Amino acid sequence: MRGQLRMPRTFIMDAPTVSLQLPLEQVTRSSGDAPLHYLEFHPQLAERAVLGLTDDGNAQITDTHALAEPVPVQPAASGVVAPWCLTLLSPRATLAQVRSVLSFIAAAGASVEAVDTLSRRRACTVLRFQVDGQLEFDKTRRACLELAERIGADLVLQAGDSQRPPSLAGFDMDSTLIDAEVIDELAKITGIGEQVAAITEAAMRGELDFRQSFKKRMRLLKGFPERELARIAPQLPIKPGAERLLRALRGLGCKTAILSGGFTYFAHYLQSERLPVDIVHANELEFADGALTGEVIEPIVDGARKRALLEEMATEMGLPLSRVIAVGDGANDIPMLSLGALGIAIHPKPKVRQEAPQSIDRFGLDAALYLFGLNDGQIAGLLDSD
């Protein structure tokens, strides 16, 4: 029965959209497909879900009521009532994707307690499913990764009580806050770029011990001219969404730290010129007569030290680890990603994607804000107020 899809229409993102009200189970039993802009389900307020679909005539849904106006996005920073949150982040959300997620939750023996639309921007729809059930986190998380690949979206599982802004956030720098590995950039100048990049890539994939690979790369860079640092720093590209995420965290009162296996020179440059970061921990470069000596200065900031530094900062600030998050992409980030409330891998290496508690592949760093329970209106308010 398609009649309801031809009822009064509204226009969202320049597309004709119908707002439908129906039991949530009916979405699972529907057939066909259509772009989806929002889905709201709050049984304590109403028994039926409300969703907005593009009126392209391909979706077949029965037992619906058409609404004359689209529903607003719910204020989602409060009201998490379930022990789990499963967040769908899609560059092109569809009814079929939602149907897959609902079927996945049911197959896990869990139930949907609420659904919130956190974003319905063009090329970014974010739906938060509040889920109740006895889920084994690691097994379910890995199953989410497989489903995400099949439906072409990101699907992130987290504890319901972690859906809140953090008080301390630790960030990797290279390939996380910046779209480069600085040590590889130095090597390019000395003509050994491919050789050093191969070692870096193997270390980030977890195939080489970070400390040993770092010492090996530094020896290869012996003689690098110190004067080149000032030329390289302004050219480092910032990762998409990094500035928005850090500005929003500052607006939330969250302290932020760079915890990098890279170099303090570049981390301090980012802190002073490009990004609102509070604290920096990275490796020191040793120069003599204006050139790198090829030696390292201990302690090297490797994966274990990143975790230890983040834990030390939390202790100094009097924060429980439940108020701490970490963000990274490489194998040497895994220890700190498993420390606090959230460990978010952004565009991670395959090994990291499999081991990190949370993973975002298709969006920039600012997508992490949705995992704190914020919607687009609240994020805009934070950015406007800084």
Which residues are marked as active site? 172, 174
Is-cis flag, bond preceding 43, omega within 30?
no
Give Cα 375 distance to the centre of its chain. 14
CB count within 10 Å of CB 372 equals: 23
In the DSSP assignment, the letter for residue 114 is E
User: Which token pair is 127?
Assistant: 């739906």
Element holding 137 (H helix, E strand): helix 137-151
Rounded Cα distance between 242 and 260, Å, is 15
Distances (CA, A) of 20 to 38, 68, 73, 169, 362: 10, 9, 15, 40, 29
Place of tokens 């529903």: 71
Packing angle, helices 182-189 and 210-220, rounded to 10: 20
295: left (phi over 0), alpha (psi -120 to 50) or beta: beta
CB burial of 101-125 (b: ≥16 within 10 Å; e: otherwise) equals bbebbeebebebbbbbbbbbeeebb
- Any idea how long the chain is? 386
Give Cα 193 distance to the centre of its chain. 30
Residue 343: φ, ψ to 5°: -130, 95
Distances (CA, A) of 60 to 5, 69, 219: 8, 20, 64
Rounded Cα distance between 73 and 39, Å, is 9
User: Which token pair is 208?
Assistant: 């080489």
- What is the torsion angle, in degrees rounded to the nearest 10, for the CA atoms of residue 239, residue 244, residue 246 and residue 247? 150
